[in-house]
Structure 1
Amino acid sequence: MIIMQDLITIINNQREVKMMSKKKIIKGILIGVPVLLVLGITLIVVSSYVEHRRLVEQEKAQYPAPGNLVDVNNDGNKLHVYTEGEGDETLVFMSGLGTSSPVYDFQVLYNQLSTDYRIAVVERAGYGWSDITTSPRDIDTVLEETRTALQLSGESPPYILYPHSLSGLEAIYWANLHPEEIKAIVGLDSLVPEYYEQTKEEPSLSRVIGFMTRSGLVRNQPEVFDNSFPAMEKGHLTEEEAKVARTIFYRRVQTENMWEESDMLLTNSKKVAGQGKPDVPFYIFISEENEDAYWKKSLVSYAETTGGEHFILDGGHYIHLDRPEFIAEKSREIIKKINEN
């Protein structure tokens, strides 16, 4: 009997050992698989980032800036100013928030105007061929950088400003602080302070998209550029232009400077609103597709109170890509009217 009990005890102990071993194995798997998964993902991301940085340097050398790179703050960080055309009037194009390549974004419109006028596209810090900077994104700093960039590029006022979206605030502030430099503002569905003061609508930036581009992972998804860069999506780029614009997209999507512009939007809007309306005419091309009634109302009101005009067009927020011919035609009429007054 004693021997039988000992055998049973031994068998039970062996079963317990086996059960404990199985539990340890299962526990090891439950811990090990996630760890291996995290290590694998980390390796993929790090490898992608290293390759991305190598390609960025290669692409910068392969596709240098077509315009002037100027050091506006004497700190080594340069802004890009692209110019073309000749004429008595200089039209300055100013991009909306998050537009990775303003030069290619405005191209379909300024190509139609540079036959008669001088055009300049100022790419703010963190946009296009301009460097990312540590200088703050308050409205005063941004405006002074724009003015200095134009001056260092050999351009001189007075200007006619063509702001899109967010840069409407900068254009209005510019006209208020330096009215002698601005003949008129021709807004492209551009923001006015009254609208943001009323709605406080948050810009649509995404941390996920920012991570995907900075890590280089977006390079494995070419359709992201095709569907996210409006000038490409609407078929306004040649094959060669698309190739260059794509490389800029890979390094200029939702940069640190863009995020800071977004964070400073309320503060900047309040400061511009505090200056009142400028003593220059404000013309505006407005997107019909925007379902926000207050957006249209605030833009129409702003144009009327400054002696300008408004045009509500069938098109999206990037109205200059949807109706470039009409905007160019009306621009000539506007400029003629400005010079006659």
Structure 2
Amino acid sequence: MKKWRKRLVKFLIFDLAIVLLLLGTGVIYQQVGLRQDAKTLVPPGKLYEVHGDNMHLYTGGEGDVTVVLASGWGTANPYVDYYPLYEKLAPNTKFAVYDRFGYGYSDQTDKKRDVDTVAEELHELLQVSGQKPPYVLVGHSLGSLETIRFAQKYPDLVKGIVMIDGGSPEYYSNDDDSLADTIGGFANKFRIQTGLFRLSMQSDMVVETSNANRNELKLEPDDLKKLDTTALLHNYGNVNTLDELREIATNAKVVVNHKQTLPFPLTILTADYLGASEPEWDKSQVEFKSWSDDSKQVTIKDTDHYIHQYRPDIVADEILALVKK
């Protein structure tokens, strides 16, 4: 029995050593990958100092109106994500794609992700980068909150707003932070820090699955697809994106508490989720029109949440209609 116990202890020690070796290798793999990501993620636009940190802005096109594109939560690289849309906009108007802190090519910041701070950061970025108003604000998904709050704080600068499957403030005010708990939880942090998430993203099948609601990025060039994956590996689960999730309900209530009829047009584009939309979401999208007397809501057929990855032509036409209005 003593011999068997000694052998068992040796086996357990050996197994533990193997596990520790694998974990150590995974941690090194993740850290090396992060350094390589940083070298690959060369800003296509320019970096501007905003509140002491660097924010990225990519611009193009020409015109007297600037279309400001706000991405949704978890969109790791807005420059890539909005490519099909700003390619349609560029011949007709000026556009500006910005990365919130913790996204794309922007720094991470130690400032809370409350909606007032985010709106003020956008305002300063547009000022220091020389983007002249009037602005047509475009908000995808959770980007709806910062665009409306910006319009509430700086109404004289805004010509109109277009929502790309953006949630209404009332809808988001009932959000819970369960997703933040999941992404910021021990299991997911372990997956990221030990390189398991990075390793999984080497599989084409996993990448395609992660891009399923973005039309598998079929409208993107291959080099931009790779940049998108790199940005995801670099930014996924960082403190700023987690804080945004935790602040959803609070931020939405701030916007609702300042609700006044917007003095400009509001266009709400809603995905039909490829025929699988939810009645509660659809109802909230129709009710979203109450934010402006000059509003309309349109459901775009055969699209998922990232409507601009399916029908950038329709989205661009709606945006340009407000530019020209």
TM-score (normalizing by structure 1):
0.84
Shift of 1:67: 0.8
- 1:47 equivalent to 2:24? Answer no
C-alpha distance 78-305 of structure 1, shift in aligned 2 (>3 A): closer
* 1:100-143 deviation per Cα after TM superposition (whole angstroms, max 9, x unaligned): 00011111011101111000011100100111111111111111
- 1:325 equivalent to 2:313? Answer yes
Counterparts of 2:48 and 2:2, CA distance in 1: 70
Alignment of 1:113-124 (within 5 A): 113-124=89-100
The AA in structure 1 aligned to 2:171 is: Y
Shift of 1:177: 1.6
The AA in structure 1 aligned to 2:129 is: S
C-alpha RMSD over aligned residues: 2.2
Secondary structure at the aligned position of 1:266 is classed as helix
Contact 2:30–2:198, Cα closer than 8 Å, also in 1: no
Shift of 1:262: 0.4
Q: Which residue of 2 aligns with 1:283?
A: 267
Secondary structure at the aligned position of 1:163 is classed as strand
Alignment of 1:165-176 (within 5 A): 165-176=141-152
Secondary structure at the aligned position of 1:155 is classed as coil
Q: Which residue of 1 aligns with 2:18?
A: 37
The AA in structure 1 aligned to 2:315 is: I
Shift of 1:23: 2.5
Counterparts of 1:70 and 1:112, CA distance in 2: 26
Shift of 1:194: 0.9
Q: Which residue of 1 aligns with 2:278?
A: 292
Q: Which residue of 2 aligns with 1:255?
A: 238
The AA in structure 1 aligned to 2:295 is: G
Secondary structure at the aligned position of 2:85 is classed as helix
C-alpha distance 159-203 of structure 1, shift in aligned 2 (>3 A): farther
Q: Which residue of 2 aligns with 1:311?
A: 298
Tell me the matched-pair count: 313
Secondary structure at the aligned position of 2:295 is classed as coil
* 1:300-330 deviation per Cα after TM superposition (whole angstroms, max 9, x unaligned): 1222551211110121111111111112223
Structure 2 stretches of 5 or more lacking a match?
none
Shift of 1:265: 1.0
- 1:186 equivalent to 2:162? Answer yes
The AA in structure 2 aligned to 1:308 is: S
**Identity over aligned residues, as a percent?**
31
* 1:270-321 deviation per Cα after TM superposition (whole angstroms, max 9, x unaligned): 1111001433322110011252212221221222551211110121111111
Secondary structure at the aligned position of 1:309 is classed as strand
Counterparts of 1:42 and 1:129, CA distance in 2: 29
Contact 2:174–2:249, Cα closer than 8 Å, also in 1: no
TM-score (normalizing by structure 2):
0.88
Q: Which residue of 2 aligns with 1:301?
A: 287
Counterparts of 2:189 and 2:20, CA distance in 1: 22
Contact 1:214–1:251, Cα closer than 8 Å, also in 2: no
Q: Which residue of 2 aligns with 1:24?
A: 6
Contact 1:210–1:255, Cα closer than 8 Å, also in 2: no
C-alpha distance 202-141 of structure 1, shift in aligned 2 (>3 A): same
C-alpha distance 215-43 of structure 1, shift in aligned 2 (>3 A): closer
Counterparts of 2:149 and 2:283, CA distance in 1: 20
The AA in structure 2 aligned to 1:206 is: I
C-alpha distance 304-269 of structure 1, shift in aligned 2 (>3 A): closer
Contact 1:216–1:250, Cα closer than 8 Å, also in 2: no
Contact 1:87–1:117, Cα closer than 8 Å, also in 2: yes
* 1:191-221 deviation per Cα after TM superposition (whole angstroms, max 9, x unaligned): 2111123454854763455554455444433
* 1:206-259 deviation per Cα after TM superposition (whole angstroms, max 9, x unaligned): 345555445544443323334324557131221222233332222022321000
Contact 1:104–1:231, Cα closer than 8 Å, also in 2: no
Greater relative contact order (Cα < 8 A, sep 6+): 2
